[in-house]
């Protein structure tokens, strides 16, 4: 099967995350005894609109950014794991008779896929993974199928190749985040067992809320709110162009009233969006409690944001750092800078972890 979503790779591998505003590369190594070491990482910003709604619209510009980031890393590793946005992938869990041979399983998957994929099978990349025995019937097995339009996969592969790299794994962003999240669970009381944990990933345009319980996603919701809202607030408040506002947001140097009149209201709005997402979760599931909130994405590093969210939601809130318990390979990886970058590196970290899949 061409769509190598689930096939583990043991060789050195770089996690390459292509988001709407930047490309992020991470390389992680085994440090022994079930621990990991971050070897190197790099982030390179993308030109405006080079990636729109998860679609690569300017292949050359994205490939150039990837090439620059890879050079910064000073690595020999050329194999990369990439991910597709969840919206570009159709996933479905099916039940099949247990003990099927590989060929029989492939035929069964294709038959099932024909029923629910709204495209001809020759237009899609298809992959599947046996999850395990069906909880309701030991004579059946649960299988997850993933399918995506070929051009979505080919665009990302083409970016890697144009940057001189080799795409060896294609994942789904939401799965990659869950892989990285396993690193964060270890930082929670009782390793997060039997607790409902809301992972709130605030990107440039969208806020994605996933509620996880015992490593299973039990709820997911996207809301149109992100870091660009703050950029627009800065633009309006200080009469800047969008480009100036974005630069000043990152580098500082904004007027004295910025914190109170622009940043604080944005943080309150973000906390309100999190509260709304929690209400949707409660009304659409049988759960009535969130035990922890984990903030991820570029906005998560705004100083004090975790406290604002915790105060409004009355839920313990932490900032995501999947690298917190990892050793640092060398002097090039600066702990302070890594802690700042970590919340936005969830997808890239999850992809880099793919080489350790059993």
119 CB contacts (<8 Å, ≥6 apart)?
149
Check if the beta carbon of residue 176 is closer than 8 Å to that of residue 10. no
Q: What is the pLDDT of residues 257-309, one digit of tens each?
A: 999 999 999 999 999 999 999 999 999 999 999 999 999 998 999 999 999 99
> Sheet containing 207-213: which strands, arranged edge to edge?
216-223, 207-213, 196-202, 292-296, 316-319
- pLDDT over 70 (residue 8): no
How far is 58 from 162, CA to CA, in rounded Å? 12
pLDDT of residue 73: 94
Same fold, 1-86+153-187+321-358 and 188-320: yes
Q: What is the pLDDT of residues 163-176, one digit of tens each?
A: 999 999 999 998 89
Q: What is the pLDDT of residues 125-181, one digit of tens each?
A: 999 888 888 888 989 998 889 999 999 999 999 999 999 999 999 999 988 999 999
Q: H/E element holding 217?
A: strand 216-223
Residue 343, classed as helix, strand or coil, is helix
Check if the beta carbon of residue 27 is closer than 8 Å to that of residue 10. no
201 CB contacts (<8 Å, ≥6 apart)?
177, 207, 208, 209, 210, 296, 297, 346
Q: Which fold has domain 1-86+153-187+321-358?
A: Nucleotidyltransferase; domain 5 (3.30.420)
How far is 35 from 178, CA to CA, in rounded Å? 18
Q: What is the mean pLDDT of residues 212-223?
A: 91
**Overall pTM > 0.75:** yes
Q: What is the pLDDT of residues 94-114, one digit of tens each?
A: 899 988 998 999 999 888 888
Check if the beta carbon of residue 196 is closer than 8 Å to that of residue 218. yes
- pLDDT over 80 (residue 198): yes
> How many other C-beta atoms are found inside a 10 Å radius of the C-beta of residue 76?
6
pLDDT of residue 27: 96
How far is 171 from 167, CA to CA, in rounded Å? 11
How far is 175 from 207, CA to CA, in rounded Å? 16
Q: Which fold has domain 88-150?
A: Dna Ligase; domain 1 (3.30.1490)
The CA-atom distances, in angstroms, between 142 and each of 109, 138, 311 are 11, 10, 41
Give the rounded percent of residues in the chain with a pLDDT score beyond 90.
Answer: 70
**Domain spans of the chain, in order of start:** 1-86+153-187+321-358, 88-150, 188-320
Per-residue pLDDT band at 2 (split at 50, 70, 90): very low
227 CB contacts (<8 Å, ≥6 apart)?
21, 202, 203, 204, 249, 297, 298, 299
Per-residue pLDDT band at 358 (split at 50, 70, 90): very low
Q: Which fold has domain 188-320?
A: Nucleotidyltransferase; domain 5 (3.30.420)
DSSP output for 161-209: HHTT-EEEEEEEHHHHHHHHHHHHHTTSGGGGTT-EEEEEEE-SS-EEE
Question: 124-134 and 22-32: which strand pairing?
Answer: unpaired
Per-residue pLDDT band at 10 (split at 50, 70, 90): low
Q: What is the pLDDT of residues 32-80, one digit of tens each?
A: 888 899 999 999 999 988 998 889 999 999 999 999 999 999 999 999 9
Q: What is the pLDDT of residues 305-321, one digit of tens each?
A: 999 999 999 999 999 99
Q: Where are the alpha helices (DSSP H) in the chain?
A: 59-73, 102-116, 150-162, 173-185, 227-238, 242-251, 258, 264-284, 305-313, 335-341, 346-352
């Amino acid at each position: 099967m061409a769509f190598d979503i689930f096939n583990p790779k043991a060789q050195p591998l770089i996690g390459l995350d292509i988001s709407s505003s930047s490309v992020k590369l991470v390389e992680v190594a085994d440090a022994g005894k079930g621990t990991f070491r971050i070897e190197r990482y790099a982030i390179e910003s993308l030109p405006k609109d080079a990636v729109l709604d998860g679609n690569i619209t300017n292949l050359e510009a994205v490939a150039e950014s990837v090439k620059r980031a890879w050079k910064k890393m000073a690595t020999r590793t050329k194999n990369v794991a990439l991910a597709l946005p969840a919206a570009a992938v159709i996933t479905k869990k099916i039940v099949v008779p247990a003990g099927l041979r590989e060929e029989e399983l492939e035929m069964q998957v294709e038959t099932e896929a024909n029923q629910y994929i709204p495209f001809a099978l020759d237009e899609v990349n298809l992959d599947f993974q046996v999850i395990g025995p069906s909880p309701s019937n030991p004579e059946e097995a649960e299988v997850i199928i993933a399918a995506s339009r070929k051009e979505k996969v080919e665009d990302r592969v083409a970016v890697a190749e144009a940057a001189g790299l080799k795409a060896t794994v294609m994942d789904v962003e939401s799965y990659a985040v869950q892989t990285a999240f396993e690193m964060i669970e270890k930082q929670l009381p009782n390793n997060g067992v039997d607790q409902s944990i809301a992972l709130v990933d605030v990107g440039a345009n969208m806020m994605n809320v996933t509620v996880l319980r015992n490593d299973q996603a039990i709820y997911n919701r996207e809301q149109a709110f992100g870091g660009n809202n703050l950029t627009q607030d800065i633009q309006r408040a200080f009469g800047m162009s969008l480009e100036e506002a974005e630069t000043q947001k990152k580098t500082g140097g904004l007027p004295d009233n910025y914190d109170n009149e622009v940043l604080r209201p944005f943080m309150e709005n973000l906390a309100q969006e999190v509260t709304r997402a929690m209400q949707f979760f409660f009304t659409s599931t049988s759960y009535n409690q969130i035990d922890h909130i984990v903030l991820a994405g570029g906005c998560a590093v705004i100083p004090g944001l975790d406290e604002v969210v915790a105060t409004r939601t009355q839920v313990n809130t932490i900032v995501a750092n999947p690298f917190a318990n990892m050793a640092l390979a060398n002097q090039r990886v600066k702990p302070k800078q890594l802690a700042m970058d970590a919340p936005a590196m969830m997808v890239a970290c999850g992809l880099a972890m793919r080489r350790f899949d059993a």
